[in-house]
Amino acid sequence: MLKYIRLYEEYTESDEASIEQHFSWSEVRDTMQSKLPFIIIDFKTEQSRKDCIEKELFDEKYVKQSYYFKKVDGENIKYPSVFIFGEGTDLSDRVHDFTKRFDIIRIIVGEYGKDQQSLFVDGEQVDIGRNLQTTNDIDEMGLEDFYDMNSKYYKFIG
């Protein structure tokens, strides 16, 4: 008896096809730890993230991820998010443009060579932690905001 394995599947609908590149957790981590520029955008809705990708990020290097806000009662609220590898652009101008055009909760910006990342929420800017805490277990994240990228959980800490 012969068994056949499907190695390639054609997509017949244009919505199913994607030119999205895939980046590993190591590439994301190395970008943050090497103090290279990046932007993390946390969206209120999946549709808002989709619109941003289609209208703004279609030709850039990015990774889809999830942003979690853990409530005091232990419940996790999950939002769509995206990690963008910043390449020589003025990130502060982009942040203001993104907040005007898309339904966004918050944006984190890591600028080239800077120790602290900046968090933009409702027009306010604050510095957040410069170190990363990572784990494979969601229960180890505590009561703080954190991210999930391909089952690797991370957050910024003091």
What average pLDDT does this structure show over 33-49?
94
Task: Check if the beta carbon of residue 101 is closer than 8 Å to that of residue 41.
Answer: no
What average pLDDT does this structure show over 131-135?
90
**Domain boundaries, given as residue ranges, for the chain:** 25-157
CA distance 103 to 49: 8
Quick one: tokens of 19?
Answer: 């030119």
At residue 95, the pLDDT reads 82
How remote is the C-alpha of 149 from its chain's centroid?
8
Pick left, alpha or beta for residue 75 (phi over 0 → left; psi -120 to 50 → alpha; otherwise beta): beta
Averaged pLDDT of the chain: 83
Nearest Cα neighbor of 103 from 38, 55, 152 is 55
